[in-house]
Amino acid sequence: MMSFDLFASEIVDERISIGPGAYVLRGFALPYVTQLLPAIEAVEQQAPCRHMVTPGGFTMSVALTNCGRLGWTTDRRGYRYTETDPASGLPWPDMPPSFRSLAKEAATAAGFDHFEPDACLLNRYVPGAKMSLHQDKDEQDFSAPIVSVSLGMPAVFLFGGHARADKSQRIPLQHGDVVVWGGEDRLRFHGILPLKDQPHPLLGSQRINFTFRKAG
């Protein structure tokens, strides 16, 4: 039926350009949610989210874990990618196949073919948690994009410029949204405003964000 097809393709194809190499794919992850939630639980069973300490001595309000060959960590000695979870000494959990296909399909939809992520950083936010303005520059390869998936409570994403003091755009992100950053937008400053408590029907009072990277 024609009107239904049009409606479905509108939902699937909503692609909003927020920079020359940055796209919001509204609702792109929604068809994957039933596969993603059990996969997230499995990752967290092997490598629970934890609050890490920054080199400056601050404990992050966001709790994080990783899957894939490499995982991002921080402690008093600095930020880096490691092959093992410092909490257990074991390799990070494998990247679930549903994670990898979502990342590759989203990258392709944004015009980045052949994305081969080797790291997936999973952030868990509760009300009040935030992420201050920063750049992601611990990866070896800035030519690959970063793909991020938001689930659960909504958040306001800050999308800045190439200098910390540049003005930021505020972009609301909802359950199921995917954002892809590449090219000249790859090194832009970005962050997340403190989360309000707006419980989500499936996930309750939390927001989960996971980002796929080519780190090694």
Binding site for ligand MD3 (CB under 6 A): 121, 123, 131, 136, 146, 148, 179, 181, 185-186, 188, 190, 192, 209, 211
DSSP 8-class letter at 30: G
Q: Which stretch binds Fe ion (CB under 5 A): 64-72, 134-142, 177-185, 196-204?
A: 134-142
Residue nearest to Fe ion as judged by C-beta position: 136
212 contact, one of Fe ion, ligand MD3, none, CB 5-8 Å limit per kind: none
209 contact, one of ligand MD3, Fe ion, none, CB 5-8 Å limit per kind: ligand MD3
65 contact, one of Fe ion, ligand MD3, none, CB 5-8 Å limit per kind: none
Q: Please tell me the distance from the alpha carbon of residue 39 to that of residue 154, in angstroms, as a whole number.
A: 21
Give the angle subtended at the CA of 67 by the CAs of 211 and 23, to the nearest 5°.
15
Which CB sits closer to ligand MD3, 42 or 156?
156
DSSP 8-class letter at 200: B
Which CB sits closer to ligand MD3, 39 or 147?
147
181 contact, one of ligand MD3, Fe ion, none, CB 5-8 Å limit per kind: ligand MD3
Residue type, 131: M
Q: Min. distance of Cβ 191 from Fe ion in angstroms?
A: 8
Which CB sits closer to ligand MD3, 8 or 128?
128
Q: Which of 85, 118, 136, 139 binds Fe ion (CB under 5 A)?
A: 136
Q: Which candidate, 57, 41, 191, places its Cα nearest to that of 129?
A: 191
| Cα distances (angstroms) measured from residue 98 to each of 11, 35, 42, 68, 75 | 20, 7, 12, 12, 30
Contacts to Fe ion by CB under 5 A: 136
